[in-house]
Amino acid sequence: MRRVIGRMITHSRAAVALGTPLLLGLSLTACDTLNKASDSVFGGGVQPGQQGYVSGFLGGTVADEPRAALLGREVLSAGGSAGDAVAAMGLGLSVTLPSRAGLGGGGACIAYAPGSDSQNKGVPESVLFVPLAPRTGSAGDRPAALPLMARGLFALHARYGFLPFEALLAQAENLARGGVPASRTLVRDLNAVSGPLFADPTARDLFGRGGKTLTEGQRLVQPALAGTLAQLRLAGVGDLYQGAMARRLATESAQAGGTLTVEVLRGALPGFLPALTVAYGNDRVAFPAPPADGGLAAAAAFSALVRDPSDLAGASARSLAAAARWRAGGGDPAALIAATDLPAAGMPSLPASTTFGAVDRKGNAVMCATTMGNLFGTGRMLPGLGFLLAASPASLPPPLLSVGLAWNPRENAFHAAAGGSGQAGAPVAVAAGLMNALRTGKPMAAPVPEPGRANVMSCAGLLPGKESTCALATDPRESGLAMSGG
């Protein structure tokens, strides 16, 4: 696995590693291009970056937490790409759903940009910022993972975004400073772990009222987190990893029980790797590569459903067997996906995750899964910084971060994408969600198997081109939100 990480770091760009404001020139160039677009697409007098700049079909967003989906749609309306929208959603979730997403955590995405002018030439790729155990440091009583969320979203945005990243940070900052109503999903997570979480006085004061957990609709105000996001906006994301904020994080992490050092923070890099792919008719279906082994598991499950779409139990067993074999000693991912003779294997109790995604009017699409390695991570707030560190995978088994995306190489177009959660049920949720969408053209033709949950985006007639065939859906058993159309 260390060799894989080494290749990830090699493929990371210098700007991502440093967190420099290189993106600003790119953003302004993109805005100049947008200003020259036809008035039939863009609202007259409204500037790029302002809601209402795009008229007509926007694309769509989906998330387990409604405010995040709304935030992504606002970005699409302002002329942003799917990469912009997903970066904004991830930052927003660090405010609205800190149980499953946060600056101290990380995740994995599958990203797609059609067209020969895209950096990856119309082929989806893995964007990996999985929370990893540091080689040194994190030796306290609450071992912490490397906090890769900020750098990961910055890397994703640098490759697939157009609007200024500082503007996306400002949106999340405003949410934290002004407060958001506690969502049903967040309240449920709070009720599940309020006992150990409230042992930390700062967490108790933030997420409780009078010693009891927030109730749905009560306002969650996070001034310390707003200050951290403001510092990232002004000084750049790199400050959290090798600047003044990195030194502060290293100091405060010791008080939170998960000691990290500036040295390990500096080396915490996201990366891009080729996606794992499975053929399905004229389409190809892409999944994140290990170390996001939930992608490997979802690919194995989808491969099983290609052979027998009705055998959901068999697909689930295949997914867990492939993941267990990988965790036991690695191997060739393609061989594990294709294998039909792997011994049955269960998985230990796995941490929670959340998924979210966006597709824009041009057919750019991104689907992500994030985690804190445990509900609310280590359960202790970083004093003055306003966020929790994710639990180290050295102390708890990592989640299966499962997402997938289908595209048509012949038409150079997006077809469908799915994100899965629900611990061990996440991989088959992705596989079943994609298979349903590809076979029926509907994003939620049937519920995915328990305990899995799915968010699905589908354009049955492909995108760009057939906007009217696009639909998105969140799992009907949960309280997320899907938004699409104009």
* Domain ranges, ordered by start, for the chain: 2-32+48-85+99-133+269-274+348-377+397-485, 180-220
What percentage of the chain carries pLDDT values higher than 70?
89
Give the range among 9-18, 127-136, 228-237, 241-250 with minimum mean pLDDT: 9-18
- The mean pLDDT of 234-262, rounded to a whole number, is 95
Q: Which residues contact 265 (CB under 8 A, 6 or more apart)?
A: 146, 147, 240, 241, 242, 246, 249, 250
pLDDT at 17 over 50: no
Examine residue 464 and say whether the peptide bond preceding it is cis (omega within 30 degrees of 0): yes
Q: How does pLDDT run across 283-323, given as a tens digit for each residue? A: 999 999 999 999 999 999 999 999 999 999 999 999 999 99
Strand partners, 367: 110, 357
d(CA 8, CA 239): 21
Q: Shortest CA distance to 110 belongs to which of 286, 298, 325, 326?
A: 286
Q: Shortest CA distance to 383 belongs to which of 221, 255, 257?
A: 255
Strand partners, 483: 61
The answer to whether 268 touches 9, Cβ cutoff 8 Å, is no
Residue with tokens 């996440």: 426
Q: How does pLDDT run across 394-415, given as a tens digit for each residue? A: 999 999 999 999 999 999 999 9
Confidence of residue 140 (pLDDT cuts 50, 70, 90): confident
What is the average pLDDT value for the chain, to the nearest integer? 90
pLDDT at 40 over 50: no
pLDDT at 120: 53
- What sign has the CA pseudo-torsion 56, 57, 58, 64? positive
pLDDT at 31: 38
DSSP state of 29: H
Q: How does pLDDT run across 153-175, given as a tens digit for each residue? A: 999 999 999 999 999 999 999 99
Q: How does pLDDT run across 359-368, given as a tens digit for each residue? A: 999 999 999 9
The answer to whether 334 touches 276, Cβ cutoff 8 Å, is yes
Confidence of residue 212 (pLDDT cuts 50, 70, 90): very high
